[in-house]
Amino acid sequence: MTDTIYPPSAELAANAHADKAKYDAMYAASVADPEAFWAEEGKRIDWIKPYSIVKNVSYAYPDVSIKWFEDGELNVAANCIDRHLETRGDQTAIIWEPDNPEDEALHISYRELHDKVCRFANVLKSQGVVAGDRVVIYLPMIPEAAYAMLACARIGAVHSIVFAGFSPDALANRVNDCGAKVVITADEAPRGGRKTPLKSNADAALLHCSDKVRCLVVKHTGGQTTWIEDRDVDVKALMEHVSPDCPPRAVKAEDPLFILYTSGSTGKPKGVVHTSGGYLVYAAMTHQYTFDYHEGDIFWCTADVGWVTGHSYIVYGPLANGATTLMFEGVPTYPDASRFWQVCEKHKVNQFYTAPTAIRALMGQGNEFVEKCDLSSIRILGTVGEPINPEAWNWYNDVVGKGNCPIVDTWWQTETGGHLLTPLPGATATKPGSATLPFFGVEPVILDPQTGAEITETEAEGVLCLKDSWPGQMRTVYGDHERFVKTYFSDYKGYYFSGDGCRRDADGYYWITGRVDDVINVSGHRMGTAEVESALVAHAQVAEAAVVGYPHDIKGQGIYAYVTLMNGVEPTDELRSELEKWVRTEIGPIAKPDLIQWAPGLPKTRSGKIMRRILRKIAENDYGALGDTSTLAEPAVVDDLIENRMNRG
Ligand code: 6R9
């Protein structure tokens, strides 16, 4: 099969930050002499104290240590706000589009952003938050989420955003793991016309946290909430009273900027730590090149700030570049399936960045929702979060982009801080479904999963690793450096292991084939199968559970749970819905199993390990090829699961 190739138009190449010749030359320079390359690129942000050491990295197991610009000092918020005041104080920094299209959008200028962030920072200080303290942010997609992030950065506090769709339990676990001093939340989160009671979720979570944790509440909808004197603080009211002055605090390049929890192959989410200097340089640089961002462009990333994509490409990257960034409170299908396109038309969006799951869902609604909107402002389309199937890619290209907008399929991770594999709009010919080529300074390698040897032939298939560091790389797992080393550097010594499988074609293009560990990707959200399993077995009537992913038309992967009930418990449809509800409340709606199959037994090795490989095959209806089943303790279990697969629902 030959792939269709879409080269950049001559016009785009001529006006872009990089054409092919520049990409080739700059890429070669970036890997030939990373120190010199990043010494120069580091200057794209302002330093209070310039760095003299650029890179100090060891991938050597077990003494992994990653430092960039380590003797430099800066302030991230000053880079995202203050340095723009003189030249673009009145330019819009953030356009906020509310859930309900009848409500008014906000245009927040850099000057206003400065005022709000300084006040928010002073509110944090008034609650005793000092540099190095952790602040959990549990907010909807409202401007206060960006103010809170930047306020933390301004005073050197470390934020940890918990996605507003997560349950009280998930919130409590994160507050406790990072030892947060305050939790910032809102009364309610409107989304798609419905309201989530965020404050009451926070109340429920805080029952399981130290009673010293303060709760800062943004009154957003004005909905009723309980109020605990001495613990709860009305943020907006206090912002009116505090001073609008808050000098940015100089922090070291390697001081943490944020912690973001993400799912791994074992039960407990990991607190991914990103630091200040390298992260900001990398977020800003990738935002500029990948989206070919130019002065005056309106940039829209549809992610939630609860995910890394929102951190790097709604807040830090765009604001460091002085862009206008759009923040959307709602969902793609409310009030109807044209909402994304209406917002693009209304705000004249130039770069639009979303996830394949949203593209597939909208594609299913028909072209008329797109065609009735004027999308002529859009120049670049982007995708992130999971592999995009060529059908969705082509629809995005033809129907949304009218064949004129390059698609940047960006492969990266919470751990990587910014794009690692991506086309550049003016430089890279694209192929539907491929994340194409490495960004500057990034050295991907494909290893044989069994031997760990690097496959040097151009055409290769195996696991995707990185040979050396880039400034946006995570530095550690919060509170557990050993886990960091074990997770990413122990399987393939000397490399960063991404957890993804990958193929490299004859042109050297990379094609991500999906996770090779027990992580599944549901609508672009990472779920550890172990997390869902431990939620299920926490139910009194469940004896055992095994969770795998299976192909799902819209979500990419769906969650398939095999559940063994306690002796004597009847499998009923009521119990099935109860378990679905149970997982929703234990973790959050995104973790609800799509299918539950009752399993009297699970296939295990003689040492008691569940053979998920077999369960995945059954979930995929691929039982002709179960592979080696000779190590099974009780082979009959498998026949039973195949026979009874129709009782899944
Ligand atoms: C940014 C983000 C990371 C995992 C990653 C991979 C998958 C992300 C992708 C992609 C194919 C792309 N992934 N982008 N797979 N093509 N363009 O999504 O971070 O939530 O940590 O997920 O998502 O499997 O390992 P995160």
Q: Which residue, judged by its Cα, is nearest atom 6 of ligand 1?
A: 386
Residue 646: per-residue pLDDT? 65
Q: How far apart are CA 137 and CA 420, in angstroms?
A: 27
In a domain, 244, yes or no: yes
Count of structural domains within the chain: 2
**411 appears as a binding residue in the annotation:** yes
Write down the pLDDT at residue 2: 56
Q: Among 222, 252, 282, where does a domain finish?
A: 252
Q: What is the Å distance from ligand 1's center to 409 Cα? A: 10
Structural domain contains residue 424: no
Closest alpha carbon to 503 in 561, 568, 457, 560: 457
**Shortest CA distance to 154 belongs to which of 108, 117, 198?**
117
Ligand 1 site-directed mutation target among 305, 309, 411, most atoms within 8 Å of CB = 411
Question: Does any ligand 1 atom lie closer than 6 A to the CB of residue 500?
Answer: yes
Residue 583 belongs to domain spanning: 523-644
- Nearest CA residue ID for atom 19, ligand 1: 413
pLDDT of residue 626: 76
User: What stretches in the chain show pLDDT beneath 50?
Assistant: 1
Domain-located, residue 180: yes
What are phi and psi for residue 82, nearest 5 degrees?
Answer: -55, -40
Inside any domain, residue 481: no
Q: Give the pLDDT of residue 168.
A: 95
The pTM assigned to this predicted structure is: 0.93
pLDDT in tens, 363-411: 989 999 999 999 999 999 999 999 898 999 999 999 999 999 999 999 9
List % helix, strand, coil for the chain (3-state, nearest 5). 35, 25, 40
CB 435 near ligand 1, within 6 Å: yes
Final residue of a domain: which of 200, 232, 252? 252
Q: Is the beta carbon of 521 within 6 A of some atom in ligand 1? A: yes
359 touches 391 (CB < 8 A): no
User: Ligand 1 centroid vs 359 CA: distance in angstroms?
Assistant: 16
Q: Which residue, 252, 268, 286, sits at the end of a domain? A: 252
CATH number, domain containing residue 626: 3.30.300.30
ipTM of the complex: 1.00
Provide the pLDDT for residue 608.
73
| Ligand 1 neighbour 520 (Cβ under 6 A) | no
Flag whether 588 is in a domain.
yes
Q: How far apart are CA 67 and CA 83, in angstroms?
A: 25
Alpha-carbon distances of 530 from 265, 415, 500, 594, rounded to whole Å: 7, 19, 18, 16
Question: Ligand 1 centroid vs 307 CA: distance in angstroms?
Answer: 11
Q: Whose CA is nearest to atom 4 of ligand 1?
A: 413
CATH number of the domain encompassing residue 219: 3.40.50.980
**What is the reported pLDDT for 530?**
85
Residue 537, marked binder: yes
| Residue 271 within a domain | no
577 in a structural domain: yes
Query: Would you say residue 504 lies in a domain?
Result: no
Between the CA of 386 and the centroid of ligand 1 the distance, in Å, is: 5
